[in-house]
Amino acid sequence: MGRTIPSFRQLLEIERLSWSGFKKELPSKLDKRAFDEIFENAELYASYLSNAVNPVTLESVIMGCLFHNHKTLSEVGKEKAKSECGDFCDDVTADEINLKLKLLADNKPYCRNLLFDRICEKWKGLVYSLHKEDREMLLKMMLETCFSYGESRSQIMNDKDSEFCITFLFYVSLLIQQQKLINKICKGGNMGNEMELGKDMTLLDFMT
């Protein structure tokens, strides 16, 4: 059973305050604002993250922020696809997810299946609490992250003794996927007057 939403929001605020020293040392107002938005984005999913029953609050902050970034990037990607006839941001459907799972099961990539199962088990409270559209998007995000690399990388992740290592390797893999999508989106399109294309961009550029 998850925490109550008010108590979880209190935990998020306590976690934010525990990083106040770090925030104070950030070099600019833009950096400080980006820091605040990380927690604000996680708070958007507080009612769902509270069901994850995760004892490490920062992990919930990270997962909430990564999922928010994934949704934002998907929307940006779909808009770009409409204007340029691209094909890298299709709509999510339950049938698509089930088909991918079937193909993966038939091909039996053992390590990647194991990694996907472990991540789903860890975050099942979050998965089951989301409404249908977000649940399908979260599952697709997990699928793409777990199966975006070969068996050898997944074997390394699964061989780690600590759940901490598994979880944060998953986060790093997801960040790589998001950064690749940012690079693809920014390669030739216009992302707004404040953003200069042609420079290296990161997730923080989408959060400021």
Average pLDDT over residues 43-62: 86
Which region among 45-54, 61-70, 89-98 has the lowest average model confidence (pLDDT)? 89-98
What's the pLDDT score for residue 159? 64
Averaged pLDDT score across all residues of the chain: 75
The CA-atom distances, in angstroms, between 123 and each of 53, 54, 86, 112, 169 are 8, 8, 32, 17, 15
Closest by CA to 81, choosing from 184, 192, 196, 205, is: 184
| Contact criterion met (CB below 8 Å) for 65 and 178 | no
Rounded-to-10 torsion of CA 98, 140, 181, 50: 180
Average pLDDT over residues 92-107: 58
In the predicted structure, residue 15 carries a pLDDT above the cut 90: yes
| Contact criterion met (CB below 8 Å) for 208 and 33 | yes
Number of Cβ atoms within 10 Å of the Cβ of 68 = 20
Alpha-helical runs (H) found in the chain: 5-18, 20-24, 29-43, 46-49, 57-84, 94-107, 110-122, 124-129, 132-146, 151-159, 163-186, 203-207
What's the pLDDT score for residue 203? 46
Place of tokens 């935990």: 11
DSSP characters over 98-143? HHHHHHHHHH--HHHHHHHHHHHHHTHHHHHHS-HHHHHHHHHHHH
In the predicted structure, residue 43 carries a pLDDT above the cut 80: yes
The CA-atom distances, in angstroms, between 28 and each of 17, 45, 89, 177 are 19, 27, 33, 27
The full set of domain ranges for the chain reads 5-207
| Residue range 122-170, pLDDT digits in tens | 889 999 999 988 998 898 888 888 777 666 666 666 665 556 666 777 8
What's the pLDDT score for residue 77? 75
DSSP code at position 54: -
Who has greater pLDDT, 130 or 194? 130
What's the pLDDT score for residue 199? 47
What's the pLDDT score for residue 168? 73
Who has greater pLDDT, 79 or 143? 143
Most confident of 100-114, 121-135, 163-177: 121-135
Average pLDDT over residues 193-198: 40
Confidence tier at 89 by pLDDT (50, 70, 90): very low
Enter the pTM of the model: 0.70
What whole-number distance in Å separates Cα of residue 61 and Cα of residue 111? Answer: 27
Confidence tier at 196 by pLDDT (50, 70, 90): very low
What whole-number distance in Å separates Cα of residue 146 and Cα of residue 174? Answer: 8
In the predicted structure, residue 102 carries a pLDDT above the cut 70: no
What whole-number distance in Å separates Cα of residue 37 and Cα of residue 65? Answer: 9
